[in-house]
Amino acid sequence: MNNVIKEGKTTAIVAYMTMVGALIAISMNTEPKNEFARFHIRQAFGLHLMFLGFALFLSNWYSDYAWYGLYVFYVVLWFYGFLSALNDKKQEVPILGPYFQKWFTFIS
């Protein structure tokens, strides 16, 4: 198990570097597939997609407080997931993590 984490750590960290990073990490994890990297790719992809979706929504319905809330929510969850990848742990981000693992099963 420790070797799996070691081999997938770089890919897992790249996944948290913007949506482009998540897409690059998906392509990095095509062969050989790594369970640790796949877990964090799903978490990061979900966080980035959630942020972009809510940002598009808020661009039409402008509210300063909603923007502040979105950024705080995103940064806290992103930091939680990123630290989890750095510390070699498979911890789901609070609230949304289990859903990201179910919804993004196409990421393998």
Q: Can you give the residue ranges of every domain in the chain?
A: 2-103
**3 state DSSP class of 1:** coil
Cβ-in-10-Å burial (0-12, 13-18, 19+) of 29 comes to buried
Return the percent helix, strand and coil in the chain, to nearest 5. 75, 0, 25
pLDDT tens, residue order, the chain (108 aa): 578 888 889 999 999 998 999 999 999 998 889 999 999 999 999 999 999 999 999 988 878 898 999 999 999 999 999 999 999 999 999 989 999 999 998 887
**Cα torsion angle, 29, 34, 40, 99, sign:** positive
pTM of the model: 0.89
